[in-house]
Each structure stands twice: as structure tokens, then as C-alpha cells.
């Protein structure tokens, strides 16, 4: 039975952003909506829920079990949201009120009729039942505030609150993007179990293709405001029928093999309004033909249940699965970074409990583990952003653990690239000003000019005049890498640098970092929870658990034949690469 029926959905603000989307979700079915940032996925979901930003309007038809939602009065939409349609967003910390407890969040979301307002005992029992449904059996959790909970626990609370009124449809917008692999696996497993128990429909919006193909019965691929391919998840993954889908799949890193080159799709997603009369993907397509620019290809059925908006049969991109030369035979020089018995505590919590590791000259070392394992604390200690309680850090002969002794040399020796480039770039400065300011901190001999830095990270010289807000997420991350390289550091620390990027942009950034290691001889300390990424970028891997190293060795050995149960658990949590 069709639960959600979307027909001809168009969303317009200052520009056209969603252009004639058709989509259905049946009761008990999970439908994935995938595509790069800017494709229109989240705005499609917001239009379904009647939550479009001010200044945007939607036309077409959206019905839920026959009830027309598009064009309905706000009073009708308010009665539907929460009770019949619920939303689970990417960042649970932003969804939860920091001033009220987990239990209060769920109680606030319970049905507003019946005994909930009058009977406190009933409300406590119901909150406990809802917590148990999302795998939280500890009753004390209901009395904790969001800041006292881990990311995975906050997402469980957000899910319990979303399900409190027993909705027919759950719209989950990137619900696991910010979570580590094991927590992501737990949340997705939980979501699947809850859905089956309730017979609930789920619209899952994600740019993580592994998650989409593992979780979804059907997948719709969205590009420039349109659906360009749809069909059963397994079929779409194995035999993509549109060049865009094929390109996304080819860009996926693998946790089982090291790819010789990570191939992202060139260019970026165009505005839907700029490609209304042509194939939206033509400018980025390796199979483009003269006929592609003449008219907009219709979404046509090629086999029962399979649709594509391409005129031709797609030639899948081959993936040559062998180690690239840069990673096949690592030959690091003398130790550049030496960490010996490093410890750090925050109150009663031990973040690092005697960590020892080294990074050689020209070597790439990965640090993996769940959230809270101590990865970021380790990076902060090396960068001088946290003072260790014990141990020693030595970089190129300089003792970094002695207070007041870091100075300009330490600043030039080590730089960092963080997860979110938008928070690490000054929005008021142009790209050129940002890079020139960074380069001025380096020595005259090793200093790179702004054009040289932009060329190094694959950006045109004209980008020097742009500000961060005029760049895509991938372009901002390239600028952040260029800024970090401006002083020609001996060591580059990358803390989850591709965690929030689309798969195609991620491939471009990882290939760039490979080039930096190979051509500049820069050493890399790469922190991530993504084992597929660590496979592609590092020579050696260190596995952290609760502030201690539980396994270390050459990356292929760690990932192919893990010896520690914790490493085995991490690998088991990685969704298979299609």
C-alpha cells in the first residue's frame, strides 16, 4: 500500500532547486534518496513535511495515505508532523534542547491526549518503554542532559522522541553522517528493527552509498533537482543505469583493496534552473554524445521497477584494484614524530593512557577508533592545543611537551586540516588573503606563493578573489589544505578531513593528500573512523580503544587479518562496498 505519493514536485526560491520529482514510499518500505550536496535531497524532504525555508514555494502533489499535504493549511500540517510524519536529522545535538533532559524530550513528544498530562507515573513508564525500544535500558539516562551523552546516545534519544507519537512515515536526513562506524551500524540496525516492528515507512536521505544500498529496498538517485535513476537497491548498486550513479560508485573507497587512483566526478552539481532543457549531467559525463544537449532525457522504465534518465546504455567504470605505487612500497625515513607514553586526563576521564607511536619522514600513519577513543586528544596534544599530563612528544628533534618552548619552528613543522573547513576559514577574508597570511608565517626559502598553493590543490588562480561562502564544501577543504601547506610543514595532521564530504569530493581530496605525501615528502598523521578511507591513504595504522593502542601495524595487515577483537568489531561494522 502506497503511504507517501509525491508527483511532479517542484521547489522554487530565487532559483529552481527541485524540478519535477516523482517518488513513492510504501508502508514498511525504506526508500533511499542519494546524491551529492546541492542535488535537492533535503529540500525535497522539507517540502514533503511542509517545512520549506521562508521564500521558497512548492508545487505539484504530495499525499500521505490519501491526505493532501502540499497546499494544506498550517493547522493541518501541524497535526500531521510528529503524529504521522516524523523527522530524524543529521545532528542530534542541534535537535535536542540543551536545557531539558533526555526523558523530558521524549515526554514532550508523547501524544497530547490521554493521561500523559495528568499521570506522572504513566509518563515515566511510557518514557522508559520508549527508551527501551531504542536500546537504552539504563533508566538513569532519562535524567541526563544532551551534553552528558555520546553522539550515538543522543541520536537514540532523538529517534525515541521522533517515534513517540507512532508516526506512519519517518524521514531520516543523514542520520548517521557524524557517527563512527560501530555507532552507525548500531543506529541503522536499530532503525531497521523498529521499522519492521511498526510497519513504518522510511525515507532515508544520505550521500553515503554504502548505507543506502545496505538499508534501502529501493534507491532514487537525485541530481540537479531531478531523479536520474531509481530501482531496487541491489540492482542499482550492481548494474547502474545512469553515468552519474556509475561515477558515484566508482568514487567509493574500498576497505578491502587499495585503489591505484581515487576517481571523483569532475566539476560540480549545476543549479536545476540552469539545465532545464538539457541533460543536467552532460557537462560532467565521460559518455556524453552530441544528442545529449538537445533535450532533457525523460525518466524512462528500462526493466520492471528500473528507471533511468539517460539515452544510452551505461558503460560501468572499471575499478583497477591494486595498490598505487605511492602506497605499495612505503620507505619512510628516520622518525619525524615520536610520541612516548603520552597521557591525558579530563577530570575522572582518561583520554590517553600511555600512548606511544612514531611517524617516519614521508610516511602516512592512520589513527582509527570509535568516538571517545582518544584520537582527537592525541592530535590536540601534538598541535599544542592540549597540554599532556605525562609522556613526551618530539618532532624533528624539538620537544613539544615542554611548556613555552614550541615557538615559530613548531608552528612551521606541524599543521592541521580539520573536519569542517567552513569553521576554520575566516569568512571575511578572500581565499588569496587567507593563503597569503598563512604563507607569511613560513621561512622565505620554503614559502609558496598564492598561485602556487592554489595550483597545488587543483584550484584556478581566479579563486584567490573568492570568499569561503562562494565555494563548495570540497573547494573549501582544498583551500584549508593549501593554507596548512603554505609553510611547507614536515607533518600534516588530518582530523576527519573527509567525514562530511560527498563521495566524489572525498575521492578528489584523498587523491590530493596522496599527491602531497608523494610530491612534497610531507608526513601524514591521518585520524578517521572510516576504515575504507584509512586503507586508501595510509601505510601504517594504529587502533585506539579508550585511550590505549590495542593493535598497530601495516595497514593491509590490520585490515585483512586483524588480531584484536576490537579491530574485528570495527571491520564488521563497515557496510560492504557495492
Q: What are the boundaries of each domain within the chain?
A: 2-84+168-308, 100-166, 325-572
Question: Backbone phi, then psi, for 570, in 5-degree steps?
Answer: -60, -45
Three-class SS state of 263: coil
Write down the pLDDT at residue 114. 58
Nearest to 51 by CA among 60, 59, 38, 42: 42
Residue 42 · residue 21 · CB < 8 Å:
no
Question: Three cell numbers at 138?
Answer: 539504563
The CA–CA distances, whole Å, from 525 to 273, 357, 374, 501 equal 42, 11, 14, 19
Please give the sequence-ordered ranges of beta strands (E in DSSP) within 266-400, or none if there are none. 300-303, 306-308, 335-346, 349-360, 364-368, 390-395, 398-399
How far is Cα 65 from Cα 529, in angstroms, rounded to an integer? 40
Residue 263 · residue 251 · CB < 8 Å:
yes
Chain centroid offset of residue 173 CA = 12
Residue 547 · residue 348 · CB < 8 Å:
no
How far is Cα 326 from Cα 335, in angstroms, rounded to an integer? 19
How far is Cα 453 from Cα 483, in angstroms, rounded to an integer? 8
Residue 490 · residue 336 · CB < 8 Å:
yes
Give the CATH fold of the 2-84+168-308 domain.
Answer: Rossmann fold (3.40.50)
Q: What is the mean pLDDT of each run of 10 residues along the chain (578 residues)?
A: 94 93 95 92 92 92 94 90 86 78 88 63 85 85 87 85 90 83 84 89 91 93 96 93 93 89 88 90 87 85 93 66 49 83 91 95 93 90 91 91 66 87 85 91 75 89 90 85 90 89 88 89 92 94 96 95 95 84
The CA–CA distances, whole Å, from 116 to 110, 129, 140, 163, 225 equal 7, 14, 20, 16, 42
Terminal-to-terminal C-alpha distance of the chain? 29
Task: Give the torsion sign (CA, 90, 92, 94, 95).
Answer: positive
Write down the pLDDT at residue 328. 46
C-alpha torsion angle, residues 72, 75, 81, 84 (rounded to 10) = -80
Question: Three cell numbers at 212?
Answer: 543506502
How far is Cα 12 from Cα 166, in angstroms, rounded to an integer? 32
Q: How many Cβ atoms sit within 10 Å of the Cβ of residue 403?
A: 7
Question: Backbone phi, then psi, for 133, in 5-degree steps?
Answer: -65, -30
Question: Does the model's pTM come out above 0.85?
Answer: yes
CATH code given to domain 325-572: 3.40.50.300
Nearest to 278 by CA among 322, 320, 325, 223: 223
Give the CA radius of gyration of the chain: 25
Residue 110 · residue 116 · CB < 8 Å:
yes
32 DSSP β-pair partners: 204, 219
Largest alpha-carbon pair distance within the chain? 75
Residue 231 · residue 553 · CB < 8 Å:
no
Write down the pLDDT at residue 178. 67
- Please indicate whether the domains covering 2-84+168-308 and 325-572 agree at the CATH topology level: yes
How far is Cα 166 from Cα 37, in angstroms, rounded to an integer? 30
DSSP 415-428: EEE-S-HHHHS-TT
Q: Give the helix, strand, coil percentages of the chain, each rounded to 5.
A: 35, 25, 40
Amino acid at each position: 500500500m502506497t503511504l507517501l505519493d509525491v508527483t511532479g514536485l517542484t521547489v522554487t526560491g530565487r532559483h529552481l532547486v527541485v524540478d519535477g520529482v516523482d517518488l513513492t514510499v510504501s508502508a514498511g518500505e525504506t526508500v533511499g534518496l542519494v546524491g551529492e550536496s546541492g542535488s535537492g535531497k533535503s529540500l525535497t524532504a522539507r517540502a514533503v513535511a511542509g517545512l520549506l525555508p521562508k521564500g521558497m514555494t512548492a508545487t505539484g502533489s504530495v499525499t500521505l495515505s490519501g491526505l493532501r499535504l502540499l497546499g494544506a493549511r498550517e493547522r493541518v500540517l501541524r497535526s500531521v508532523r510528529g503524529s504521522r510524519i516524523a523527522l530524524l536529522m543529521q545532528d542530534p545535538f542541534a535537535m535536542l534542547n540543551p536545557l531539558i533532559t533526555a526523558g523530558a524530550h521524549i515526554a514532550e513528544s508523547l501524544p497530547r491526549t490521554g493521561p500523559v498530562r495528568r499521570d506522572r507515573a504513566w509518563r515515566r513508564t511510557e518514557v522508559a518503554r520508549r527508551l527501551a525500544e531504542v536500546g537504552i535500558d539504563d533508566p538513569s539516562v532519562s535524567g541526563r542532559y544532551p551534553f552528558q551523552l555520546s553522539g550515538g546516545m543522543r541520536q537514540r534519544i532523538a529517534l525515541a522522541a521522533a517515534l513517540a507519537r507512532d508516526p506512519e512515515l519517518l524521514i531520516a536526513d543523514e542520520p548517521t553522517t557524524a557517527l563512527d562506524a560501530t555507532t552507525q551500524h548500531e543506529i541503522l540496525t536499530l532503525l531497521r528493527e523498529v521499522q519492521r516492528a511498526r510497519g513504518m515507512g522510511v525515507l532515508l536521505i544520505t550521500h553515503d552509498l554504502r548505507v543506502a544500498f545496505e538499508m534501502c529496498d529501493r534507491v532514487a538517485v537525485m541530481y540537479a533537482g531531478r531523479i536520474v535513476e531509481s530501482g531496487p537497491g541491489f540492482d542499482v548498486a550492481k548494474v547502474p543505469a545512469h553515468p552519474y550513479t556509475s561515477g558515484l560508485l566508482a568514487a567509493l573507497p574500498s576497505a578491502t583493496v587499495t585503489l591505484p587512483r581515487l576517481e571523483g566526478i569532475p566539476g560540480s552539481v549545476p543549479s536545476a534552473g540552469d539545465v532545464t532543457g538539457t541533460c543536467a549531467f552532460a557537462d560532467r559525463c565521460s559518455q556524453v554524445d552530441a544528442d545529449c544537449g538537445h533535450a532533457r532525457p525523460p525518466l524512462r522504465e528500462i526493466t520492471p521497477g528500473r528507471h533511468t534518465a539517460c539515452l544510452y546504455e551505461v558503460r560501468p567504470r572499471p575499478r583497477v584494484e591494486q595498490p598505487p605505487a605511492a602506497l605499495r612500497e612505503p620507505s619512510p625515513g628516520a622518525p619525524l614524530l615520536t610520541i612516548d607514553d603520552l597521557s591525558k586526563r579530563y577530570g575522572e576521564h582518561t583520554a590517553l593512557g600511555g600512548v606511544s607511536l612514531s611517524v617516519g619522514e614521508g610516511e602516512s600513519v592512520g589513527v582509527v577508533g570509535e568516538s571517545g577513543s582518544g584520537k582527537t586528544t592525541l592530535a590536540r596534544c601534538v598541535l599544542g592545543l592540549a597540554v599532556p599530563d605525562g609522556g613526551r612528544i618530539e618532532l624533528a628533534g624539538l620537544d613539544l611537551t615542554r611548556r613555552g618552548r614550541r615557538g615559530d619552528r613548531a608552528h612551521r613543522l606541524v599543521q592541521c586540516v580539520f573536519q569542517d573547513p567552513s569553521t576554520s576559514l575566516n569568512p571575511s577574508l578572500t581565499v588569496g588573503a587567507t593563503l597569503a597570511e598563512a604563507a607569511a608565517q613560513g621561512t622565505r626559502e620554503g614559502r609558496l606563493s598564492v598561485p602556487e598553493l592554489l595550483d597545488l590543490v587543483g584550484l584556478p588562480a581566479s579563486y584567490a578573489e573568492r570568499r569561503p561562502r562562494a565555494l563548495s564544501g570540497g573547494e573549501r577543504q582544498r583551500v584549508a589544505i593549501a593554507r596548512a601547506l603554505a609553510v611547507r610543514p614536515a607533518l600534516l595532521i588530518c582530523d576527519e578531513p573527509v567525514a562530511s564530504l560527498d563521495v566524489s569530493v572525498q575521492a578528489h581530496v584523498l587523491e590530493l593528500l596522496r599527491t602531497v605525501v608523494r610530491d612534497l615528502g610531507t608526513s601524514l598523521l591521518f585520524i578517521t573512523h572510516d576504515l575504507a578511507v584509512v586503507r586508501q591513504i595510509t601505510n601504517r595504522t594504529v587502533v585506539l580503544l579508550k585511550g590505549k593502542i590495542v593493535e598497530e601495524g601495516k595497514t593491509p595487515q590490520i585490515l585483512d587479518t586483524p588480531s584484536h577483537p576490537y579491530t574485528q568489531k570495527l571491520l564488521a561494522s563497515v557496510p560492504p562496498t557495492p
